[in-house]
């Protein structure tokens, strides 16, 4: 019996030792958990600070694409974003940047941003379509597809490609005219050099259209698309550069003899236009 006593004491001491070890482990675990709540935020803040001062947080390269006819250097000036600037100058500020650029340059419709490789910035510019030119004083300004006129004078107008659309002080009428112009067949549209809003006491929506081939057209804005479609057939019949009046019916007379209209020319042109009208109506009915 005396030999078994040490064994019982040993087991009891062993259990006490295990409990003590487990208690210490729990205390250590609790301390670690408490330390984590303190250390983790510090580590995160330090990580952010290190990132902000590192080259990764700065814009490395800037690539501008899709700008069409708006010069890249002008876009850069409008954006005021350069290599070395913080990427947070762009993040979260897309709407504000678009608004600021739109105020500076009416040609730009929208701007989108995309980062690749952490800090390489790609800027995609979507401009408004250019329709023609408006003259103010000695300068020419671009007319855009939305009916607005740019606030930047054009240094080298490409007037061999786009028409001058002038005297449209009413912007609603200008927008309407643009939509009508864009609906013309391309060959006729490319032949238009000047569209001038020239209202009279008789016709409040009279237009004078100067063609690149030398002919002139007097037409009403309300009939613009319908009657301009006959221009090809009328122009081929003219033996000299002429003024074509399409206000009521259709007749023409040589530009060199504006005061004396020739009845022969008037009758011939009217008949041709009527034939074209009948053909057009027949196709629609089919």
pLDDT of 25? 61
Q: Which helix (H) or strand (E) holds 251?
A: strand 251-254
- Alpha-carbon distance of 188 to 215, in angstroms, equals 12
- Identify the pLDDT of residue 41: 75
**What single string gives the DSSP state of each residue in 73-102?**
HHHHHHHT--TTSBGGGTTT-HHHHHHHHH
In the prediction, which pLDDT does 227 show? 92
Give residue 83's pLDDT.
Answer: 86
* Prediction pTM value: 0.65
Label residue 207 exposed, middle or buried (CB < 10 Å: 0-12, 13-18, 19+): buried
Quick check: 61 and 120 in contact, CB under 8 A? Answer: yes
**What is residue 55's predicted lDDT score, i.e. its pLDDT?**
74
Per-residue pLDDT of the chain (286 residues; tens, 9 = 90+): 444 455 554 555 555 555 555 656 666 666 656 666 677 777 777 766 675 667 788 888 888 887 767 888 888 888 888 888 888 888 888 889 888 888 888 888 889 988 888 789 998 988 888 899 998 888 999 999 888 888 888 888 877 889 999 999 998 999 999 999 999 999 999 999 999 999 999 999 999 999 999 999 999 999 999 999 889 988 888 889 999 999 988 888 898 866 554 444 444 445 356 544 444 444 433 4
Q: How many CB atoms lie within 10 A of CB 165?
A: 23
- Kindly report the CA angle at 170 between 169 and 172, in degrees rounded to 5? 145
Closest CA to 104 of 75, 124, 146: 75
Degrees to nearest 5, angle at CA 215 with 177 and 278: 70
Backbone angles phi, psi at 37, to 5 degrees: -65, -25
Q: Collapsing DSSP states into helix, strand and coil, what is residue 177?
A: helix
Give the pLDDT confidence score for residue 271 in this predicted structure. 31
């Amino acid at each position: 019996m005396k030999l078994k006593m040490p064994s019982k004491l040993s087991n009891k001491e062993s259990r006490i030792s295990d409990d003590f070890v487990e208690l210490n482990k729990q205390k250590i675990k609790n301390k670690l958990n408490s330390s984590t709540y303190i250390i983790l935020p510090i580590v995160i803040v330090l990580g952010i600070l290190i990132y902000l001062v590192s080259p990764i947080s700065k814009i490395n390269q800037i690539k501008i694409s899709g700008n069409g006819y708006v010069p890249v250097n002008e876009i850069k000036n409008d954006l005021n974003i350069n290599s070395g600037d913080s990427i947070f100058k762009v993040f979260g500020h897309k709407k504000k940047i678009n608004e600021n650029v739109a105020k500076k340059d009416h040609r730009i419709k929208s701007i989108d941003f995309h980062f690749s490789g952490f800090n390489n910035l790609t800027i995609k510019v979507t401009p408004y379509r250019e329709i023609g030119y408006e003259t103010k004083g000695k300068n020419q300004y671009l007319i855009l597809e939305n009916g607005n006129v740019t606030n930047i004078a054009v240094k080298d107008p490409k007037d061999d490609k786009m028409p001058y659309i002038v005297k449209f002080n009413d912007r609603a009428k200008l927008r309407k005219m643009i939509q009508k112009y864009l609906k013309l067949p391309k060959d006729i549209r490319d032949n238009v050099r000047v569209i001038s809003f020239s209202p009279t006491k008789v016709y409040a929506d009279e237009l004078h259209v100067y063609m690149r081939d030398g002919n002139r057209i007097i037409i009403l804005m309300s009939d613009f698309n319908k009657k301009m479609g006959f221009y090809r057939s009328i122009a081929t019949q003219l033996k000299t550069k002429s003024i074509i009046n399409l206000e009521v019916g259709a007749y023409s007379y040589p530009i060199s003899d504006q005061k004396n209209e020739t009845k022969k020319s008037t009758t011939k042109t009217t008949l041709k236009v009527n034939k074209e009208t009948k053909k057009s109506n027949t196709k629609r009915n089919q």
